[in-house]
Structure 1
Amino acid sequence: MPKPQSRSESPSVSPTSTVLGNGQEPSAVIGTASEHDVTSTHTTSSHSPPDSVDLESQSATTRRPSVINVLRKFSSTFSDQIPPHWKPNHINEKRDTRSLEDYPKGFPRFAAWMNCDENFLMTRRYGWLHNRVMLYRQSELRQLEIKLQLCDEGDEESKDPALVDHRMFARGDAGEYRKELIQQIDEKLEQYDSIVRRVKEMSSLPKATRRNYTSVCNHIDKHAPIAQREQDVFMNDSDFVALVEQHETKSFDGFVEDILTLLPCKRVTQFFFSNAEQRASSTDESLFLYDKRRIDVFIRLIMTFLAVGLLLAPVVVLFREQDSGTVKIVVILVFTLFFSLALSLATRARRAEVFAATAAYCAVLVVFLGNFIPGNSAVVSS
């Protein structure tokens, strides 16, 4: 007796064949569908995590891009605040890194050496030649001035209306002479004014310091970068002027640089007070180039400690010496003199400024002595 067909097997072929209707084999479709169902069922049954894990993974996935975007926004905002001169660029990577020895001998190498440090930038003022030209133009103007005065005196005697009427100034032979004379005076005045301005500009340049002039002469004597007849230009030290304006502590900077040069540890000194470009600029061991910014920072530190020491050292001495009034007076005198000397040598303060600062410093010490030190009656009685 045949077995009845089960309910699960009856719709497996007919609905599929009815729906397809495109010549495909029902068995192939059924097999494909069953394999897909089995695979999906197996995957779902074996890897399906709990609902809480799905929510956490989804929240982490959605949270990660937002954190990255916030970091990118913060970095872009921070990079916009960086000054342009702090950012690296391709220009600095392609800068000229030639040393002095890479330049041809003679004026090219000598010019490169002078360009290494602003202290070497000096030139002759040629004051004698400027004065000669100015005196010559002055004499020419004086002769033309005499001619014009004689012409005016002749016009006054002859009652020439050219003195009072400009339209009559250039009429006739006398008028042409006056017109030509005025033109000559104008040309000579232009030349004279030009030389006067040049003399003024050259005279306003600061004189080259003895230290910088000696450095240039020593380099010429040692290396002979130019011919002997060209070296005669540097024989007149009083005629050389500096092309760079000296700042407040220029002389003190030179003193500090000289002290650093005399130190035995040359490499350590150059490491701290010279940049990499200056260290690679030359193989000459006698050439010491210092970074002005680093020297300036070092000078500021020295001035800071010096100022604090000048203020606190006499206070400590006066506070400890409470018995001898003579010692207190001597301490005030010595530290006041030392303060005035340091102010005059380490800065470019004018005389009035030095006097005012010294008076204020002495007043501070006297006030401290009178108000804050016990036993100050000894000073008054002495």
Structure 2
Amino acid sequence: MNEGINSGDRGTTALGKRKEGFADVARWISLDSDSETSIYRRFHELGARNLLYLQAELLVLEKKLNELDEQDVRTDDMDLKDAARTWEVLTQRHAAGLGDAKDRIELIEKIQTKLREYHEALLLQSEISKLKRPNKRVLDAYRLWFKKPYPALGGLAKTFLDTPEDLVGLNTSETDYLSLFLRRHWPTRGEFSRDGLHRIGRFSEQSVAITVAAISIVVAAFLLVGSIVGLYWVTSDAAKLGMVAVFTATFALSVGLMTNAKRAEIFAAAAAYAAVLVVFVSGNISNPGA
């Protein structure tokens, strides 16, 4: 999705029949087949605060349980010791209405409930922390549509795009340099913003991904086959070493530009590629020009 300014005919809009408020925003989000506009607040501070509250409650419950454990050690009452060792005895005393067993069972049930809630919140927060921030290109287009000529939502809801550091995208696109370059120049389907003046361009992210994959395959095949063919016909050892260096550098550059590989992965891929070329050069291959 790209953004732009209308400089002529108003054209047609992809929004169809007009809606208002949350219905309007929801439909605009749903129009994006790649779901890049599924951008929301993650409320990171509130999530952290909720975990701290749950943790504090569990610390209190843990302290109470430890105090009961200390009482079990100090007591001379064999029935209480049996209840501490045997679950069946503890439940029998609870069924009989004995206060010590009732307090312990209630505390255990509170811990089980609160611990489950805490662990679920912890796992959810862990998953949410893995979500990436929305693409700046998409976020700019979203803001343009959302805020002009007036905010699409009222109240506090109209401010949710004002905190970019707390926003997450449910489906973020690839961020390799080749994909970014193609998105900036990809043909789009024009759509006017709500003010009728600013144009927003939509395009299929899948088409960009297919193009990037095709270019990557062609480049990879050329670097592998082309290097082997070139090294086969060159007879000078110095020229062969120079070609290995050039092809390896080109390969590493292509991996860095066309993929999201990390530095360690680029080094590993370049080393493997160079190893293939070195093995080829060092082999005893008949050369008609030798």
TM-score, normalised to structure 2, is 0.72
Among 1, 18, 31, the residue aligned to 1:103: 18
Among 343, 360, 367, the residue aligned to 2:255: 343
Q: Which residue of structure 1 aligns with residue 157 of structure 2?
A: 230
| Secondary structure class of the residue paired with 2:168 | strand
Change (3 A) 1:337 1:235: farther
C-alpha displacement of 1:315: 5.4
Amino acid in the other structure paired with 2:69 = D
Q: Which residue of structure 2 aligns with residue 138 of structure 1?
A: 55
| Secondary structure class of the residue paired with 2:36 | helix
Among 199, 222, 225, the residue aligned to 2:125: 199
Q: Which residue of structure 2 aligns with residue 303 of structure 1?
A: 216
Between the aligned partners of 2:107 and 2:274, the Cα distance in structure 1 is 67
Change (3 A) 1:342 1:293: same
More helix by share: 1
| Secondary structure class of the residue paired with 1:287 | strand
Q: Which residue of structure 1 aligns with residue 244 of structure 2?
A: 332
Correspondence 1:43-192 to 2 at 5 A? 99-100=14-15, 102-117=17-32, 118-160=35-77, 161-165=79-83, 166=87, 167=89, 169-170=93-94, 172-192=98-118
Structure 1 residues without counterparts, runs of 5 or longer = 1-97, 261-268, 271-278, 377-382
> What value does the CA root-mean-square deviation take over the aligned residues?
3.4
C-alpha displacement of 1:114: 1.9
Q: Show CA shifts across 1:240-271 (max 9, x none).
A: 2221375xx564434311132xxxxxxxx34x
Moved more, 309-318 or 153-162: 309-318
Between the aligned partners of 2:256 and 2:20, the Cα distance in structure 1 is 43
Q: Show CA shifts across 1:76-116 (max 9, x none).
A: xxxxxxxxxxxxxxxxxxxxxx8315222443332222222
Correspondence 1:9-24 to 2 at 5 A? none
2:287 aligned with 1:361: no
Structure 2 residues without counterparts, runs of 5 or longer = 1-12
Q: Give the structure, 1 or 2, with the largest relative contact order (CA under 8 Å, sep 6 or more).
A: 2
Aligned length: 259
Among 250, 254, 257, the residue aligned to 2:183: 257
Change (3 A) 1:339 1:181: same
Which is greater in Rg? 1
Between the aligned partners of 1:126 and 1:292, the Cα distance in structure 2 is 28
C-alpha displacement of 1:151: 1.9
After TM superposition, which residue ranges in structure 1, 4 or more long, deviate above 6 angstroms? 372-376
| Secondary structure class of the residue paired with 2:40 | strand
C-alpha displacement of 1:138: 0.9
Between the aligned partners of 2:263 and 2:120, the Cα distance in structure 1 is 35
Contact 1:318 1:373 in 2 (8 A): no
Contact 2:152 2:158 in 1 (8 A): no
Contact 1:322 1:374 in 2 (8 A): no
- Give aligned-pair identity as a percent: 28
| Secondary structure class of the residue paired with 2:31 | coil
C-alpha displacement of 1:349: 4.2
Between the aligned partners of 1:355 and 1:211, the Cα distance in structure 2 is 30
More strand by share: 2
C-alpha displacement of 1:363: 2.7
